Chain A
Amino acid sequence: DTGVSQDPRHKITKRGQNVTFRCDPISEHNRLYWYRQTLGQGPEFLTYFQNEAQLEKSRLLSDRFSAERPKGSFSTLEIQRTEQGDSAMYLCASSPGTGGWTEAFFGQGTRLTVV
């Protein structure tokens, strides 16, 4: 197992286009998180899954954002009608267990640039 994998690493898109990112967590990790990070800031929580169930979604997310985790394996994050303000690093992380919040393992992120 090589850790959390995110694809693509970089994405440049025109404003108004839709984009989809993929995250492959560490095998058998129950929890999967999505964060957004802009330059000089800490990661902002977007949403998280416990297996295939999406348990919480940040109010930061507009209706243009949607995330799925079919069968509790990989996850996708889609942004529709992208805006320049969506430009950021999108980070995925996973962690084991169903109890307390333990160590999260992060992917390298997908850097989105909306032009």
Chain B
Amino acid sequence: SQQGEEDPQALSIQEGENATMNCSYKTSINNLQWYRQNSGRGLVHLILIRSNEREKHSGRLRVTLDTSKKSSSLLITASRAADTASYFCATDGAQKLVFGQGTRLTINP
């Protein structure tokens, strides 16, 4: 079963806009990770946030974590066409790395 649930399932925005996607999970965690997957390809790690961190930045990415609500958000600023992909959160709360269903992000030129 999936540990994380992403919301929305699909998101379509114009190039240059910001994209926000959310992840909720069920059990306590040590860390939460976000991955990107281009169509038909393997997953690429984007960022890891530990349970004692509340916010983390990497380039145009900003991740927040609220352990009291068991939720995380991924913000991509100034989106580009190349950001079109599926985005997954992954948690380690079940003693293994478990992925959510993903958010399909489409950036329109």
Contacts and interface: CB of A to CB of B under 8 A. Distances in A.
Interface in B34-57: 35, 40-45, 48
Interface string A19-42: 000000000000001010000111
B33 interface: yes
A85 interface: no
B42 A48 contact: no
A45 B31 contact: no
Interface stretch (B13-21, B60-68, B77-85, B99-107): B99-107
A4 B30 CA distance: 25
Contacts of B97: 33, 45, 48, 93, 101, 104
A108 interface: yes
Interface of A: 4, 33, 35, 40-45, 48, 56, 89, 91, 93, 100-109, 111
A101 B31 contact: yes
Nearest to B3: A45
Contacts of B40: 89, 111
A58 to B, nearest CB: 9
Contacts of B92: 100-101
Interface string B69-103: 00000000000000000001010100111111110
